[in-house]
Chain A
Amino acid sequence: MPSWYIAAGIAGLTVMTVLTRGFFVISERELELPPWAMHGLRYAPIAALVAVISPEILLTDGALIATWQDARIYAVLVGTAYFWWRRGIFGMIVTGTAVLLALKIGLGW
């Protein structure tokens, strides 16, 4: 990771923060988005999140996980079970990470 790349990435992400939070207040006039864009706003965040995390969860070096001895599988299963049981993101992170660490440190997965 060259340092110019990281610096440019952080600067760009900062601009994205300002741009999205300020989107509707930048203009002096009232903005009207077309209806399809408002509809699209509903799906874009979930599509982006899934796009980023699904390869992180399902792939190893570009191929689907081919072994059962992968701590990520159990961390995700336990975290998911917790989320749908209690509807809590915080508890999900804690339980999932606990399973991850137990398997990584305990079994070296």
Chain B
Amino acid sequence: MVPPSLGMAAWALVTGVAMVKSGLSVWTATAMTVLVYAGSAQLAALPLIVAGAPLAVLLVAAFCVNLRFVIYGAHWRRYFGHLPRWHRLWLMYFAVDLNYVLFVRRFPEPRPQPEQLPYFWGGAVWNWASWQGASLLGIVIADRVPTQWGLGFAGVLALLGVTYSLLSDRKTWIAAGVAACAAVAAFSLPLKLNIVAAIAAGVAIGLLLDRSFPGAAPERA
């Protein structure tokens, strides 16, 4: 649990720095990290907030970046579906990528067991504390670093790395390429609608490729 948390802490540090370097105050950045608690959605939201994008565009982008959690959730339900609704939602708020990976490895059998809740909370609390600690450290450091160093770009590099790790086959490469071209070509659209257009173009080409070449089925779900 400790080494992967260290990697995540580094990621949190970058998020903290990028938030302040995008122009958020120390206090807004702190509120964002404590409440939103989703690094890649926060990083993706920053350029949009700086550009003053409409809230709807901001939310569409964050929703799409977070969609992997929807996939995890279908799996989580088999473990925690018997709990009351508010309890389930409370658990899921803390269910980040690392918790999911470790939990499913520890309990490969998708059915409720009594030791699952303590295991879940042990990991969730540890993750939350290391994430928030490192993120706050990043916020404080960034406040002391000159803006012309352009450190906020570290957040873009982090998202680029996540993008690379999602490129699993030729179809995802094509979908990503189409989305990139659309986002740049449609950049002059008002209201940051180029983001929405690019997401729509990327997903549409992906679905089209899946239909035309059904060879490789989606491995998850």
A36, closest chain B residue (CB) = B207
CA distance A108 to B59 in the complex (A): 35
Contact A80 B164 (CB under 8 A): yes
CA distance A54 to B199 in the complex (A): 12
- How near does chain A come to B35, taking the closest CB pair, in angstroms? 5
In the complex, besides A17-B93, A55-B184, A79-B157, 9 extra interface pairs with C-beta distance below 8 angstroms are: A17-B41, A18-B93, A22-B89, A25-B81, A46-B202, A47-B176, A47-B202, A100-B150, A101-B149
Q: 17 A-B Cβ contacts within 8 A?
A: A9-B58, A13-B41, A13-B62, A16-B38, A20-B67, A21-B73, A43-B207, A44-B202, A45-B64, A45-B67, A51-B194, A52-B44, A53-B156, A54-B198, A55-B47, A62-B188, A97-B154
Whether A66 sits at the interface, judged by CB under 8 Å, is no
Contact A93 B35 (CB under 8 A): no
Whether B129 sits at the interface, judged by CB under 8 Å, is no
B-side residues, CB < 8 A to A, are 7, 10-11, 14, 23-24, 28, 31-32, 35-38, 40-42, 44-45, 47-50, 52, 55, 58-59, 61-74, 76-77, 80-81, 85, 88-89, 91-93, 95, 148-151, 153-154, 156-167, 171-172, 175-176, 179-180, 182-184, 187-188, 194-195, 198-199, 201-203, 205-207, 210, 218, 220-221
A-B contact count (CB 8 A): 279
Return the 3 tightest CB-CB contacts between A and B, nearest first.
A47-B202, A43-B206, A48-B64
Contact A83 B153 (CB under 8 A): no
Known: A50-B163, A56-B156. A93 touches B179 (CB 8 A): no
Contact B59 A12 (CB under 8 A): yes
CA distance A25 to B48 in the complex (A): 30
Partner of A13 from the list B42, B165, B167, B184 (CB cut-off 8 Å) is: B42
Contact A51 B179 (CB under 8 A): yes
Interface majority SS (helix, strand, loop, mixed), chain A:
helix
Counting chain A residues whose Cβ lies within 8 A of the other chain, the interface size class is 35 or more
Known: A55-B194, A93-B158. A41 touches B183 (CB 8 A): no
Residues of chain B lying within 8 A (CB to CB) of residue A100: 150-151, 153-154, 157
Known: A47-B179, A49-B159, A93-B161. A22 touches B93 (CB 8 A): yes
Annotate A1-43 by CB proximity to B: 1 below 8 A, 0 otherwise: 1010111111111111111111111101011000010111111
A105, closest chain B residue (CB) = B149
Residues of chain B lying within 8 A (CB to CB) of residue A24: 70, 73-74, 76-77
CA distance A30 to B75 in the complex (A): 11
Residues of chain A lying within 8 A (CB to CB) of residue B91: 25
- How near does chain A come to B155, taking the closest CB pair, in angstroms? 9
CA distance A48 to B93 in the complex (A): 22
